């Protein structure tokens, strides 16, 4: 095929081409320059940070016939054959598909022979953590007694899976996540070389969604340029990555903050019908809230723009009614909410509850606004005389009446939180509601002072006694029968006979 992907086209050819790995490149270049390199290396780090590329440049450099201050010349027969893929003495092995002990034994046999044309034979073993236990043992023997002209370079994304015996026999270099500034510089260079007029904010957005992996950032750039190879705009990046953009996130959040919950939930419904991913929505909301918070804490405009990749502008002033503490709480609410998505039967419910909580944090419990959206009609609470239950088996249906009263009162938020819990028991003057491990957010909301007081008041009315309500985790040990009776009857329980 004629087109070459950008990450391959701009793959580093020399040590100076690497971005954000200065400590590693300087150390390896000095070893090459002074001819003091070892026989085995381990490169570890997340994907897309340059491990395999560094191994290739290092292999090319130690075989170069005309080094230029520790850099491969790129012109000698060894460098030319390497670039063309005809270098017989540099072998790359994918341990994910060649992970058996027989594969490593074959490698050991071949490693005994001298290089065909070059000064050194180099084995680059990628994803080395995929080797079997027996294969690692076979490799260990080779590392302990290496041939005189052989160099091994192991690369891994999961260094904790490598046996200590292997680690102790290699020089280890950790490849860190690429910094935002280093990534921006590299992407700007590629865009310029490709003749693309790129907006700085658009490049910053690509870096932000790359997770610190430069290869991912370049691949995202390549994907976005498929829309227009002459310019790169924020709108193009948003379209390519499936993002909503700050304007739309602002509209969604502002509706919730101002109490227009019906508008917020309607906007969220439209967004989801467009096929947007919930995880991406959460990420954009958290990024937006971070921007508001930083714009308050950091006074220098240049520093804010460097941190965010854009100037906050007038948009953030519409959130002046929120204190920094409230913003911090909102970030916690959305962060906790997105953690519950994985095991949820109704994922969108978590985001809806987080939007409702946004209004509650700013002004207090939501009642009428949510009722308009979810019920569409007014429901009058039914007053009825309720006799308090006489024994434990009667409590569950009475708890259902508590839920019904909360729903009828229009407090849909509290009702929704309690739906995720299970009525366990009554312990004295306390009703225990248990929540699973994935619903800590709901449990904490139930135990908040204002919400808890409202639930306790309704429960007291239904049960005909002064009661409290407490949310607990399912893992908490329930009361045994004797403790439960003692909680119910006090000292009189000593007179009861257990059978």
The pair of three-digit structure tokens given for residue 488, joined into one six-digit string: 């119910």
Using an 8 Å Cβ cutoff, are 201 and 210 in contact? no
* Res 386: pLDDT: 47
Using an 8 Å Cβ cutoff, are 424 and 436 in contact? no
* Res 177: pLDDT: 92
* Res 377: pLDDT: 44
Strand, helix or coil for residue 175: strand
Q: What is the domain partition of the chain in residue ranges?
A: 6-174, 180-241, 246-363, 395-478
Q: Mind giving me the DSSP string for 21-67? A: -HHHHHHHHHHHHHT---SEEEEEESTTSSHHHHHHHHHHHHT-SS-
Query: What would you report as the CA-atom Rg of the chain, rounded to the nearest whole angstrom?
Result: 32
Strand, helix or coil for residue 41: strand
Q: How far apart are CA 204 and CA 190, in angstroms?
A: 14
* Res 221: pLDDT: 95
Q: How far apart are CA 461 and CA 459, in angstroms?
A: 5
Closest CA to 171 of 131, 149, 143, 135: 143
Q: Which CATH number fits domain 6-174: 3.20.20.80, 3.40.50.720, 3.30.70.360, 3.40.50.300?
A: 3.40.50.300
Closest CA to 156 of 38, 9, 16, 51: 51
DSSP lists the bridge partners of residue 126 as 94
User: What is the distance of C-alpha 60 from the center of its chain?
Assistant: 36
Backbone angles phi, psi at 497, to 5 degrees: -105, 125
Q: How far apart are CA 435 and CA 447, in angstroms?
A: 12
Q: Which CATH number fits domain 180-241: 3.90.230.10, 1.20.1530.20, 1.10.645.10, 1.10.8.60?
A: 1.10.8.60
Backbone angles phi, psi at 210, to 5 degrees: -95, -10
Measured N-to-C along each axis, helices 449-463 and 395-408 cross at an angle, to the nearest 10 degrees, of 120
Q: Write out pLDDT tens, residues 442-461.
A: 888 888 888 888 888 888 88
Closest CA to 310 of 324, 325, 290, 283: 290
Using an 8 Å Cβ cutoff, are 269 and 276 in contact? no
Query: 422-427 and 430-435 as β-strands: parallel, antiparallel, unpaired?
Result: antiparallel
- Residue in the block written with tokens 């239950």: 389
338: Cβ contacts below 8 Å, ≥ 6 apart? 278, 279, 282, 286, 350
Q: Strands, E, within 361-429: which ranges?
A: 422-427
Closest CA to 238 of 219, 263, 220, 216: 220
Number of other CB atoms surrounding residue 266 within 10 Å:
13
Low-confidence ranges of the chain (pLDDT < 70): 1, 314, 363-395, 475-499
Q: At the topology level of CATH, where does 246-363 sit?
A: Zinc Finger, Delta Prime; domain 3 (1.20.272)
245: Cβ contacts below 8 Å, ≥ 6 apart? 234, 235, 238, 284
Q: Mind giving me the DSSP string for 271-314? A: HHHTT--HHHHHHHHHHHHHHHHHHHH---HHHHHHHHSS--GG
**Residues 395-478, CATH architecture:** 2-Layer Sandwich (3.30)
* Res 422: pLDDT: 83
């Amino acid at each position: 095929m004629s087109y070459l992907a950008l990450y391959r086209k701009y793959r580093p050819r020399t040590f100076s081409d690497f971005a954000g790995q200065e400590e590693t490149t300087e150390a390896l270049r000095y070893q090459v320059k002074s001819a003091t390199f070892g026989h085995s290396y381990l490169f570890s780090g997340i994907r897309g940070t340059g491990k395999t590329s560094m191994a290739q440049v290092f292999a090319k450099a130690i075989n170069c016939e005309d080094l230029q201050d520790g850099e491969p010349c790129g012109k000698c027969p060894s460098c030319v054959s390497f670039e063309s893929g005809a270098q017989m003495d540099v072998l790359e092995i994918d341990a994910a598909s060649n992970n058996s002990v027989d594969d490593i034994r074959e490698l050991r046999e071949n490693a005994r022979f001298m290089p065909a044309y070059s000064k050194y034979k180099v084995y680059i073993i990628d994803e080395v953590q995929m080797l079997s236990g027996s294969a690692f043992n076979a490799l260990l023997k080779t590392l302990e007694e290496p041939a005189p002209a052989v160099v091994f370079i192991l690369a891994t994304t999961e260094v904790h899976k490598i046996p200590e015996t292997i680690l102790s026999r290699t020089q280890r270099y950790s490849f860190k996540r690429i910094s935002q500034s280093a990534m921006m510089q590299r992407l700007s260079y590629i865009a310029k070389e490709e003749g693309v007029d790129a907006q700085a904010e658009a490049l910053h957005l690509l870096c932000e969604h790359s997770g610190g992996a430069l290869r991912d950032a370049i691949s995202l750039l390549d994907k976005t340029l498929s829309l227009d190879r002459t310019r790169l705009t924020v709108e193009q990046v948003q379209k390519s990555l499936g993002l909503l953009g700050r304007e739309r996130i602002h509209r969604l959040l502002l509706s919730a903050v101002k109490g227009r919950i019906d508008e917020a939930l309607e906007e969220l419904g439209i967004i989801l019908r467009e096929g947007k991913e919930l995880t991406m929505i959460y990420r954009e909301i958290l990024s937006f809230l971070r921007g508001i918070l930083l714009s308050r804490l950091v006074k220098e405009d240049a520093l804010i723009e460097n941190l965010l990749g854009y100037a906050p502008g007038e948009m953030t002033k519409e959130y002046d009614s929120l204190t920094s503490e409230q913003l911090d709480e909102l970030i916690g609410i959305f962060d906790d909410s997105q953690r519950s998505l994985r095991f949820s039967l109704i994922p969108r419910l978590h985001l809806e509850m987080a939007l409702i909580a946004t209004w509650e944090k700013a002004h207090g419990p939501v009642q009428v606004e949510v009722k308009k959206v979810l019920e569409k009609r007014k429901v009058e609470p039914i007053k009825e005389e309720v006799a308090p239950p006489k024994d434990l088996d009667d409590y569950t249906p009475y708890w259902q009446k508590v839920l019904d009263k909360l729903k009828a009162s229009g407090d849909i938020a509290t009702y929704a939180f309690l739906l995720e819990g299970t009525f366990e028991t009554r312990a004295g003057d306390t009703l225990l509601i248990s929540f699973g491990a994935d619903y800590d957010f709901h449990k904490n909301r139930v135990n908040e002072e204002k919400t808890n007081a409202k639930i306790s008041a309704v429960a007291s009315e239904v049960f005909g006694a002064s009661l409290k309500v407490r949310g607990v985790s399912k893992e908490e040990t329930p009361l045994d029968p004797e403790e439960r009776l003692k909680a119910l009857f006090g000292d009189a329980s000593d007179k009861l006979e257990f059978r």
